[in-house]
Amino acid sequence: MEVTPKFAVGEVVHHRKFDYRGVIVDVDPVFQGTDAWYETMARSRPPRDQPWYHVLVDGAAHSTYVAERHLEPDTSGQQIEHPALGEFFNRFLGGRYYAPGQRH
């Protein structure tokens, strides 16, 4: 049974465990990584059958792959700083990002 993701591309989120902000650039309905990556990186063993998100990290140059249970909405209303932001989005309005041609 597929679960509906809580977050969408363009939403600004906060990582509960590692206390960083970021913007979602892609959503996987279930974990799409390798077993080796999961064993090495997902130390808290979040569920693989729940949504996972590709997130550009605020104030950094990298992205992360995060289980839904570690994310919450970011309510600051502030933009993020990331060198790849322009590759995905061209507008920030009402606390979220929009891709070219995407309606708000």
pLDDT tens-digit map of 56-87: 999 999 999 999 999 999 999 999 999 999 99
Strand 52-57 relative to strand 91-93, pairing: unpaired
Q: How many CA atoms lie within 13 A of 83 on its CB side?
A: 3
Residue-wise pLDDT tens digits, 14-53: 999 999 999 999 999 999 988 887 888 777 888 889 999 9
Report pLDDT for 43.
76
User: Taking a C-beta distance cutoff of 8 angstroms, is the pair 61, 82 a contact?
Assistant: yes
CA-nearest of 42, 22, 43, 23 to 32 is: 42
